Chain A
Amino acid sequence: MVEASNAVVINGIIVFLSLCGIGIILAALLSNRMNPFGLSLVASIASVSVLLVGGEVLLSGHSVQTELWTLPFLGTLTFKIDRLSALFVFITGLVFLPVSIFSAGYLKRYLNRYNLKTFSIFYYLLFASIVLVLISGDILSFLIAWEVMSIFSYLLVNYEHEHEETTRSGFLMLAMSEAGTIMVILAFLIMAKASGSLDFAALRASAGGLGEVARWAVFLLSFFGFGVKAGLVPSSTWLPRAHPVAPGNVSALLSGVVLNLGIYGITRVNADLLPVSQVGPGLIVLIIGSISALVGILYAATENDMKKMLAHSSIENMGIITAGLGAGFVFAASGLPVLAGIAFIAALYHLINHSLYKSLLFLGAGSVDYAVGTRDMDRLGGLIKIMPWTALFFLAGSLSIAALPPFNGFVSEWLTLQTMLQSSAIHSAGEKIVFALSGAALALTAALAVTTFVKAFAMSFLGMGRSKRVKKVGEVRRSMIIPMGILALSCLLFGILPTYVVPVLDKTVAPLVHEKVADELVPPFFTVDKGDPKFGGAFVSEFHDLGAQVGRSYLPGRGLVILHRGLEKNPVVFAMSTSYTFIVLLFLLGGTFILVKVLTRARKVRRAAAWDGGIRRLLPEMTYTATGFSNPVRVIFNAVFHPSTIEDTKETVAGHFRTAIKNGRKEVHIIDRLIFKPITSFIQSVAVTLAKMHAGSINVYAAYVLIGLVLVLVVQRLLL
């Protein structure tokens, strides 16, 4: 059994890597015109193989480990897939599959402008490197894969290199990413020094030997280092700049997969290799997460560029995930493993969800951009009539991200918020206050997310087209719609079947918190008997009394997410069921539909245009713009946005004839304003003296970093 499972996994990885190789060769051979198709075909198969690998490990639970080869001085390169890796690998496949299909159509827009061969090659390399990062079993292979992944994601973002804007954003992305990498390297070095080995297993084993200072150092370096990739405050600035310049499909990957790697890193180091043993780091993670969430959503709410808005929203979602992790760390350090488990489950659940809906939304935004040629929501509008399928799936994505049931965002955000409420179990008042504030921040975030995505959907798809281009377009090709459909369906399924997802996540989390919480969260109350020792009599009888077991032989499985303290009186802490909500919702909607049909069957339905006050023609200029819709947020949070010029400039001719009122508004992102501006002005003065060292080419910088990395590792090895 174990053997068979191992074989599947190892063969799967081999198949995947060879598919990437075949893809690269094919890309080089195929013509520019055929390349998108080839990419889509091979990468889809590769995604399926990845899904199989991830799925196998997730379900069977057998970690697979292989040693590749040994490098002189540096040790052995190993691959290891445990459930945590497998989860991320699985999500990677889940996103790569639809995005690869989508690319076939989407890439056509670049046909005569850019070299599609290089795009395909970068794409495979990125895919492979991401998987390799996730299955690396030692520091060296991890870092090499990490660097490759960073460079190729940069190259893909920078694909439309003809634009000045693109290059600048790409450079910022690379620079910040490398800064993060250096911090990560330092964190690994500290751990490696203590264990004397680069192997993860060895690091894990020797974790206990690290002193207080070293632990803090590892935590801070790894958290903020990986935080760059995850787009957490304060190193989030690269995200909203990189996204709008990246091609639509790359954006989906960036948000749906690459950001996850940051979370993977944080989890791997701080929950697995060197588990956080104090409350402090947990609180830092919680605070940074909450701030990221709030700052992200505030800027998302007021942004009019669809992709920039989605990028800010990625910061928000990464923040929510991080806040969940932070809560988990605090609970774990406070000796509350069950709550820690729930918090980690919530975080990882949100991670899956975010990958799904964010890549869906990016594909939607890409489709709109592809069809209309603009992503400015002020200039869109009325697209639902022209692009009904894109609109439908974008709506599904919007509902998911706005955390409305029965879609997936609701489940994970609900769990996260409920977890925050469980802080009552902690004793320290100070910690409780941090939890309360974070909870409030997250609740505000959730509310603003609704505003943001009501705006995103309504301003882009409803109403009247606000620019002439909108009228000329049509729906995108089917190969682009189907992947969005797949993702939208996944969003729905992950939303209505949490009771099947939670146990899988529980098994992933269990090794980290040394506790299983599946029975706590999704108890089998249909089947449990009164005498079951694990569930208190009070708990079971409560369900019996409610008649919860009435349908035990008809209902297919558990449908309720619940937190309970099984042995107390009133044991239920919280409960919800999207599965049942969904069923009820279906009946309600269907029932209403039928009822209306029956009641009005004798009536003639007359359709008339919306009432416009009787003016000759309602013009698109007379409908709400995205800016107008989000202006209340801008006004309320003026202190955060802190626009530098709000004075209107008024132009007047002939004494009293006002001809123009212009309102120039310049904003500097709060993070740039409060953190980077002061630092840059300091560094700039220093830099003037060091300027001569700069060669000015990005490739040179990349080379510096790679050389530096190898040098550091060699030196470290020699020292030991």
Chain B
Amino acid sequence: MSKWVIKGLRTGIKTTQYPRKMETASGVSPGLPTAAKGTEKEVQELVFNCPTGAIERSGNQLTVDYNYCIHCFRCKRGSQSPMGWDYGYEWAANTKDSGANRGLGSAFNRSINIRFVDGGACGACISEIEQLNKPYYNMHRLGFFATPTPREADVLLVAGPVTDHMRLPLKKAYDAMPTPKLVMAVGACALSGGIFGPSFMSDAGVSELIPVDVAVPGCPPPPLAIIHGLLLAVKRKSSALLTSSEVRG
């Protein structure tokens, strides 16, 4: 067994510095399209090619609604696309449902219990959320803990478009949580249904069923974005926008 101790010590600290310092390692985020200005042809093509209708145009100005974007890269990898790309990860944003009275309060700042509900996620979101529990991201250092029962959860983390069969479990989990409680929707599916919903078997996101306080866009959102969402939930970070701002000039 002592070999394991040595092995563990040898490995050293792998954990990211975020949120004390920004993470600079590459490959931690797939990035998001920002916005673009282009010729009429380019603009038309981009809007047409976007599979989820995330790109909106006004004139030749394009903005991206992050509720819908699934990082399919079609707007980026086309020939000479004008679409800008941002490799950040602080994407989490408050939603219109997140009122002041739904905050957790300062008592929760450094201790939150999180219950995760899989509303039909593809597994990539779940995998990224699991990374939070692992050395590189280690959410425990920030006072975030996973709990097996919603009875002691402060934050409900939901991924997936919410399939029909998961509606009842999700509602039950939400109802079982004590107040004050927050709901965090993780990933494009949870925000808008992604490419699955709305349909006969999926909703168009979590907010159809229960009020969502924090939205984390991305498909899947990288672990750092989810951490940003958790920090936002306890007001230790500020909110990003769910729609890209227009390109000036």
Contacts and interface: CB of A to CB of B under 8 A. Distances in A.
Contact of B168 (A606, A609, A616): A616
A614 B175 contact: no
B170 A614 contact: yes
Interface in A139-157: none
A414 B176 CA distance: 44
A615 B165 CA distance: 10
Main secondary structure of the interface of B (DSSP, over half): helix
Contacts of B176: 608-609, 611
A610 to B, nearest CB: 9
A614 B151 contact: no
Contacts of B169: 613-615
Interface in A80-124: none
Contact of A611 (B150, B168, B179): B150
B149 interface: yes
Which of the listed residues B169, B170, B172, B179 has the most CB atoms from chain A within 10 Å of its own CB?
A: B172
A614 B168 contact: yes
B173 interface: yes
Contacts of B150: 611
Contacts of B168: 614, 616
Contact of B173 (A606, A609, A614, A616): A614
Interface in B105-147: 117
* Band of interface residues on B: 10 to 19
Interface string A391-432: 000000000000000000000000000000000000000000
A608 B150 CA distance: 12
Contacts of B170: 614
Contacts of B172: 612, 614
A613 B169 CA distance: 7
Interface string B158-176: 0000000000111011011
Interface residues of A, number: 9
Interface in A593-607: 606
Interface string B77-94: 000000000000000000
Contacts of A615: 169
Interface string A568-611: 00000000000000000000000000000000000000101101
Interface in B166-208: 168-170, 172-173, 175-176, 178-179
Contacts of A609: 176
Contacts of A613: 169
A608 B151 CA distance: 10
Interface in A608-641: 608-609, 611-616
A568 B86 CA distance: 86
A614 B117 CA distance: 10
Interface string B53-75: 00000000000000000000000
Nearest to B171: A614
A180 B168 CA distance: 65
Contacts of A614: 117, 168-170, 172-173
A615 B178 CA distance: 19
Interface in A254-268: none
Nearest to B151: A611
Nearest to B176: A611
A596 to B, nearest CB: 16
Contacts of A612: 172
A608 B178 CA distance: 9
A609 B151 CA distance: 10
A612 B168 CA distance: 12
A3 B172 CA distance: 77
Nearest to A616: B168
A428 B117 CA distance: 67
Contacts of B179: 606
Nearest to A609: B176
Interface string A636-676: 00000000000000000000000000000000000000000
Which of the listed residues A613, A614, A616 has the most CB atoms from chain B within 10 Å of its own CB?
A: A614
B175 A608 contact: yes
Contacts of B178: 606
A606 B181 CA distance: 14
Interface string A496-537: 000000000000000000000000000000000000000000
Nearest to B179: A606
Contacts of A606: 178-179
Nearest to B175: A608
A616 B170 CA distance: 11
A608 B177 CA distance: 9
A87 B179 CA distance: 59
B236 to A, nearest CB: 26
A611 B175 CA distance: 10
A196 to B, nearest CB: 79
Contacts of A616: 168
A616 B171 CA distance: 11
A615 to B, nearest CB: 7
A457 B152 CA distance: 28
Nearest to A614: B169
B164 to A, nearest CB: 13
A608 B149 CA distance: 13
A608 B176 CA distance: 6
A318 to B, nearest CB: 45
Nearest to B169: A614
Contacts of A611: 149-151, 176
A615 B175 CA distance: 13
Which of the listed residues A606, A611, A615 has the most CB atoms from chain B within 10 Å of its own CB?
A: A611
Nearest to A608: B176
A609 B177 CA distance: 11
A613 B172 CA distance: 9
Which of the listed residues B176, B178, B179 has the most CB atoms from chain A within 10 Å of its own CB?
A: B176
A606 B168 CA distance: 20
B117 to A, nearest CB: 8
A163 B149 CA distance: 50
A182 B169 CA distance: 69
A606 B178 CA distance: 8
Nearest to B166: A614
Nearest to B172: A614
Contacts of A608: 175-176
A155 B151 CA distance: 56
Nearest to A613: B169
A599 to B, nearest CB: 15
Nearest to B170: A614
Nearest to A604: B179
A612 B170 CA distance: 12
Interface in B220-234: none
Given A614-B173, A615-B169, A616-B168, 14 more contacts: A606-B178, A606-B179, A608-B175, A608-B176, A611-B150, A611-B151, A611-B176, A612-B172, A613-B169, A614-B117, A614-B168, A614-B169, A614-B170, A614-B172
Which 7 pairs across A and B sit closest by C-beta, in order of nearness? A614-B169, A614-B172, A611-B176, A611-B149, A611-B151, A608-B176, A614-B173
19 contacts: A606-B178, A606-B179, A608-B175, A608-B176, A609-B176, A611-B149, A611-B150, A611-B151, A611-B176, A612-B172, A613-B169, A614-B117, A614-B168, A614-B169, A614-B170, A614-B172, A614-B173, A615-B169, A616-B168
